[in-house]
């Protein structure tokens, strides 16, 4: 059953990653994508034994390095200087992506331009003819992680829904998104369709009207 949080407004930019963190089980191996997904780390319980993976060859990544701790040889996927935690390990790129592709990561969190009701993900290219394409590890992560959580606003600035019947932007991966965390609602994407788990500041009925895609409760 959908839980409607009607006594409050939408989740803000800090509350969405905090909500994602609640769904990451203790002991998980997790990869956090560049940008807003990275901030999920700020809300993980330090006692939960969650190990962060970074695509550029490290398990046990720690927090962002403070000035004085910066080591140019120790960076995250966004090329930001980070720290290592006790028990950390380093490995080369082929191993790092074998870890992903081989299904060894429990959860990956990525941002998105669009997600389809079938769980297709579009997050690497707007398709604009003058855009310089860059994919990085997004396709590998989308394909490999056992659970793929996506963070995005539910509607674009022009009001267009970003949870769509079929992606119009170039795909990153097919049928790969398992949960979708937005300002207005949290969704689970299953083979049978999209379930609305929670809404924030909007009723499930109004949400369904604005989205125009089939939803279950």
Partner 1 sequence: MSVVEIVADADAAVAGIADGATVLIGGFGAAGQPVELIDALCRAGARELTVVSNNAGNGEVGLAALLKAGQVRKIICSFPRQVDSWVFDELYRSKRIELELVPQGSLAERMRAAGAGIGAFFCPTGVGTPLAEGKEIRLIGDREYVLEYPIRGDAALIKAYRADMAGNLVYRKTARNFGPVMATAAATTIVQVDEVVERGDIDPEAVVTPGIYVDKIVAIGPAAEGAA
Residues 108, 53: Cα–Cα separation, whole Å: 9
* 178 near partner 1, rule: CB under 8 A: no
* 97 near partner 1, rule: CB under 8 A: yes
Minimum separation from the CB atom of position 58 to partner 1 (A): 5
* 13 near partner 1, rule: CB under 8 A: no
Residues 91, 108: Cα–Cα separation, whole Å: 19
* 55 near partner 1, rule: CB under 8 A: yes
The residue length of the chain stands at 217
Question: CB–CB of 207/185 below 8 Å?
Answer: yes
* 144 near partner 1, rule: CB under 8 A: yes
Tell me the HSE value of 200 on the side-chain side, using a 13 A CA sphere: 16
Judged by CB under 8 A, the residue of 18, 60, 90, 198 near partner 1 is 90
Minimum separation from the CB atom of position 11 to partner 1 (A): 28
Q: Which is nearer to partner 1, 10 or 170 (CB)?
A: 170
Q: Which is nearer to partner 1, 18 or 98 (CB)?
A: 98
Backbone phi, then psi, for 123, in 5-degree steps? -145, 10
* 134 near partner 1, rule: CB under 8 A: yes
* 116 near partner 1, rule: CB under 8 A: no
Judged by CB under 8 A, the residue of 101, 104, 111, 155 near partner 1 is 101
* 58 near partner 1, rule: CB under 8 A: yes
Residues 116, 189: Cα–Cα separation, whole Å: 9
Binding window for partner 1 (CB under 8 A); candidates: 105-113, 127-135, 148-156, 206-214 = 127-135
Q: Tell me, yes or no, if 206 is annotated catalytic.
A: no
Residue 47 tokens read as: 């006692």
* 72 near partner 1, rule: CB under 8 A: yes
DSSP secondary structure string, 88-151? Answer: EEE--HHHHHHHHHTT--SEEEEE-SEEETT--EE-S----TTPPP--TTHHHHHHH-SEEEEE
Among the listed residues 49, 189, 31, 181, the one whose alpha carbon sits nearest the alpha carbon of residue 109: 31
| In the block, residue with structure tokens 């390990």 | 89
Catalytic residues: 55
The residues that touch partner 1, with contacts defined as CB under 8 A, are 54-58, 71-75, 79, 84, 90-94, 96-98, 100-101, 120, 125, 130, 132-140, 143-144, 170-174
């Amino acid at each position: 059953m959908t839980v409607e949080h009607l006594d409050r407004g939408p989740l803000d930019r800090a509350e969405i990653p905090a909500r994602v963190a609640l769904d990451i089980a203790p002991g998980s191996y997790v990869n956090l994508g560049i940008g807003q997904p990275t901030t999920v780390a700020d809300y993980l319980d330090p006692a939960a034994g969650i190990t962060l993976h970074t695509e550029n060859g490290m398990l046990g990544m720690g927090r962002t390095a403070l000035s004085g701790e910066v080591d140019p040889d120790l960076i995250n996927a966004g090329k930001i200087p980070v720290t290592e935690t006790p028990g950390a390990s380093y490995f080369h790129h082929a191993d790092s992506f074998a870890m992903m592709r081989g299904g060894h990561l429990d959860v990956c969190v990525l941002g998105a331009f669009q997600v389809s009701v079938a769980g297709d993900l579009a997050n690497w290219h707007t398709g604009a003819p003058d855009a310089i394409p860059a994919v990085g590890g997004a396709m590998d992560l989308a394909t490999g992680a056992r659970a793929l959580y996506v963070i995005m606003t539910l509607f674009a600035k022009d009001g267009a829904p970003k949870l769509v019947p079929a992606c119009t932007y170039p795909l990153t991966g097919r049928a790969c998104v398992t949960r979708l965390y937005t300002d207005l609602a949290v969704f689970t994407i299953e083979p049978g369709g999209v379930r609305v788990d929670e809404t924030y500041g909007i009723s499930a009925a109004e949400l369904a009207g604005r989205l125009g895609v089939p939803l279950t409760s």
